[in-house]
Amino acid sequence: MALQLAVSSVILALRPSPDDDGDDGGGVLGLWIPLVRRIREPYEGRWALPGGPLGEGCGLEQAARNALTTSTGLDPAYLEQLYAFGGLDRSRDRENEGPDPDRVVSIVYWALVRAEEDQAAVRAHNVEWFPVDALPDLAFDHIQVIDYALARLRAKILYSPIAHAFLPTEFTLAELRAVHEAVLGRELDPANFRRQTLASGGVEPTGRRLEGTNHRPPSLYRYRAESVATSPTPPPRSAS
Amino acid sequence: MALQLAVSSVILALRPSPDDDGDDGGGVLGLWIPLVRRIREPYEGRWALPGGPLGEGCGLEQAARNALTTSTGLDPAYLEQLYAFGGLDRSRDRENEGPDPDRVVSIVYWALVRAEEDQAAVRAHNVEWFPVDALPDLAFDHIQVIDYALARLRAKILYSPIAHAFLPTEFTLAELRAVHEAVLGRELDPANFRRQTLASGGVEPTGRRLEGTNHRPPSLYRYRAESVATSPTPPPRSAS
DNA sequence: TCAAAAGTGTTTGAACTACACCCATGC
DNA sequence: GCATGGGTGTAGTTCAAACACTTTTGA
């Protein structure tokens, strides 16, 4: 009956797709999400977004970072508030009707993380990664929350240098294009992508080249300092 | 020390600007916001966004509607969640440092209302309307919240039929253009605005004309049913 | 007849698409 | 050489800005 406030996160990483038949090195990239298995009613045993109650000692964004670290062991390269949910039918398993639960308001963040090699090592208990196009049955309406986060990502990559969050500091335009293609789910013309990206001014050549390919070595680029951002557009600091 | 959850709203209406020297009928339109004077510390006596604690019996959006009705007596023609604020320095008057206050998380909505004639009659106690370009000193960092809402409105009017919220069911293209000009703060080419608006398909002619002008009577238009929306893009219903 | 706004047409330039083509490297 | 992706050039299209121009009403 007391008011509860929870924070959860849609965490997105890029990894080779599971349907990658070919055993060649690269493979097609796809989006993956870590989910946690619920150990309490409602929806016990179902997969859900990682999160938890808002701690006493931290703000909303910090709480989202904590959930993120717990489930992935990584720092988010990008973190933005998605939406605050607070309907009255909340926290209620609509399949198993029970007594009226506590009122829960939850604030959802979405995050982008760079897929590190040691990520599998930090795989926490009860946490598993799923490709976004092969998600299991989810608790609550988390599937809609994920869809909303994906829509936001796909919209934002068109006008924001957000792909930076998936890449190392130096990268080739082909790698950058692969990120865009994975997020948008369609192929892009390499020539036009190059022109638009360079014309936008968000990226600049480092002067180095990537050696070791079996073809012409591509130039390496980095994001210009002004264009990167861990925080999103312009949400103010606080309010009441 | 207990967790408090509050909901407040940036309510925007379109009215003739105060700097309208000429006494002609029309006048230049501008955005206005209702503010309430605080009757408690912190920031007692300062103007603030209307709002209040989240009631037991209603969801977040309903709570925003309630605050809106209290301060304007109007129904919102458009209502969308803006942001959830929950920093640790919240609810603290930074000029008069006091003892640690309760932890307050507040969820802010933004709303568009049609300016009705009887709106002045419903002017509630402690509520006053201000033009957005002549706001008084505000409590907390509400000025930044308002700036954020304005940025969202200006961005959204470019790709969304949101101007509908400021207009009656039938309107001329000049009236629609005046709404866009007031929101964007610059003049628009009537010819190009007409072509773009009609080509977008969001609007259709009613067949009627507006009589009584002292020039050629303009056609009346209405928004097509599919393009209007009281709710925003696509936020899901609930979550945990 | 004139002022004023409605409404139409036309030119220009920017930006994107599609696709042809050359370049540089490993094999 | 030749396959492969890096990188450039270019014609066609779409779209919006700018602005000249015609139309229709009230006064």
Integer distance in angstroms from CA A134 to C1' C27?
39
Tell me if A11 sits within 8 A of A72, measured CB to CB: yes
**Residue-averaged pLDDT of chain A:** 86
The residue of chain B with its CA nearest to that of A106 is B240
Separation between Cα atoms, residue A65 and residue A74, nearest integer Å: 9
pLDDT for B72 equals 83
In the prediction, which pLDDT does A25 show? 46
Residue-wise pLDDT for A134-147, tens only, equals 999 999 999 999 99
Q: What pLDDT does residue B23 have?
A: 44
Interval A47-76 mean pLDDT: 88
Which residue ranges does chain B devote to CATH 1.10.10.10? 163-225
Residue in the structure block whose two tokens are 């709106």: B119
Higher pLDDT, residue A89 or A85: A85
Residue by residue, pLDDT tens for chain B (240 residues) are 577 899 999 999 999 987 655 444 457 899 999 999 999 888 999 999 999 898 777 889 999 998 888 888 888 999 999 999 986 654 555 455 545 556 789 999 999 999 776 565 556 678 899 999 999 999 999 999 999 999 999 999 999 999 999 999 999 999 999 999 999 999 999 999 999 999 999 999 999 999 888 899 999 999 998 887 776 655 555 556
Q: Are the C-beta atoms of A112 and A166 separated by less than 8 Å? A: yes
Q: Which residues numbered 214-233 in chain A sit less than 7 A from strand D, measured from CB?
A: 214-219
The CATH architecture assigned to B4-156 reads: Alpha-Beta Complex (3.90)
Q: Is the CB of B186 under 7 A from strand D?
A: no
Using the CB atom, is residue B174 less than 7 Å from strand C? yes
A216-230 pLDDT, tens digit per residue, is 999 999 999 887 777
pLDDT band at residue A180 using 50, 70 and 90 as cut-offs: very high
pTM of the complete model: 0.91
CA of A189 to C1' of D2 (A): 24
Q: Rounded to the nearest 10 degrees, what angle do helices A173-184 and A190-200 cross at?
A: 100
* CA B206/CA B56 separation, integer angstroms: 45
Write the CATH number of the domain with boundaries B163-225.
Answer: 1.10.10.10
Q: How far apart are alpha carbons B239 and A85 in whole angstroms?
A: 6
Q: Which residue of B has its CA nearest to A3?
A: B3
List protein-proximal bases of chain C (any atom < 7 A from a CB).
3-10, 16-20, 23-27
pLDDT at position A58 is 83
Summarize the confidence of residues A102-113 as an average pLDDT: 90
- What's the confidence (pLDDT) of residue B22? 45
Which segments of chain A belong to CATH 3.90.79.10? 4-156
Query: Count of CB atoms within 10 A of residue A148's CB?
Result: 20
pLDDT value of residue A228: 79
3-state SS, chain A, equals: CCEEEEEEEEEEEEEECCCCCCCCCCCCEEEEEEEEECCCCCCCCCEECCEEECCCCCCHHHHHHHHHHHHHCCCCCEEEEEEEECCCCCCCCCCCCCCCCCEEEEEEEEEEECCCHHHHHHCCCCEEEEECCCCCCECCCHHHHHHHHHHHHHHHCCCCHHHHHHCCCCECHHHHHHHHHHHHCCCCCHHHHHHHHHHHCCEEEEEEECCCCCCCCCEEEEECHHHCCCCCCCCCCCCC
